[in-house]
């Protein structure tokens, strides 16, 4: 558990029954959120995982990812707009990277919109470095994705 200023936030892995809460948070954070059906489909895949921070019954932040035996891909990281200045995104990202390290995954990657300066700052602060670009990755054919990678945290971290 992690403490906020006045409330206790519960950290836990998200399950299929949390798909509605995850989709509702996404709708508040992203211009093209997953549908509830897409969330439930993702939860049905063995390589998908998601972790969230809850304030009672409210999901206030989550990170979702896919993984193979040697690589972790961070899909989305969303923090409730009211809590963006509390460091929850940084906390969840570090927890996902540590979980990957424990699973033996040594490489992490993610795609991010070039215009998403806050996310780029978060990822660079966590040790991710620009590794390339995917042309026309998003729904807008003129919008590329920047690819960031980083090794898993060392055992000393």
Tens-digit pLDDT profile for residues 36-62? 888 888 888 989 989 999 999 999 999
Catalytic-role residue among 26, 62, 123, 148? 123
Total-model pTM: 0.78
- Cβ(113)–Cβ(91) below 8 Å: no
Verify whether residue 123 is a known catalytic residue. yes
Q: What pLDDT, on the 0 to 100 scale, is given for residue 106?
A: 81
Banded model confidence at residue 7, pLDDT cuts 50, 70, 90: low
Res 157 pLDDT > 60: no
Distance, in Å, from the CA atom of 138 to the CA atom of 15, rounded to the nearest integer, reads 27
Instruction: Give the gyration radius of the chain's Cα atoms.
Output: 15
- List the single range of 23-27, 113-117, 118-122 with lowest mean pLDDT: 113-117
What class is the 2-110 domain? alpha beta
Verify whether residue 111 is a known catalytic residue. yes
Catalytic-role residue among 36, 71, 73, 111? 111
């Amino acid at each position: 558990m992690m403490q906020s200023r006045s409330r206790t936030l519960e950290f836990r892995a998200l399950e299929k029954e949390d798909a509605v809460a995850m989709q509702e948070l996404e709708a508040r954070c992203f211009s093209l959120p997953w549908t509830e059906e897409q969330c439930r489909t993702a939860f049905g895949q063995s390589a998908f995982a998601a972790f969230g921070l809850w304030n009672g019954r409210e999901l206030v932040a989550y990170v979702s990812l896919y993984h193979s035996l040697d690589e972790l891909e961070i899909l989305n990281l969303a923090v409730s707009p009211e809590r963006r200045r509390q460091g929850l995104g940084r906390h969840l990202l570090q927890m996902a990277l540590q979980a990957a390290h424990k699973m033996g995954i040594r490489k992490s990657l993610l795609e991010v919109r070039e215009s998403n300066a806050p996310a780029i700052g978060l990822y660079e602060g966590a040790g991710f470095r620009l590794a390339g670009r995917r042309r026309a990755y998003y729904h807008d054919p003129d919008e590329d994705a920047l690819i960031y990678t980083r090794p898993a945290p060392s055992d000393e971290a």
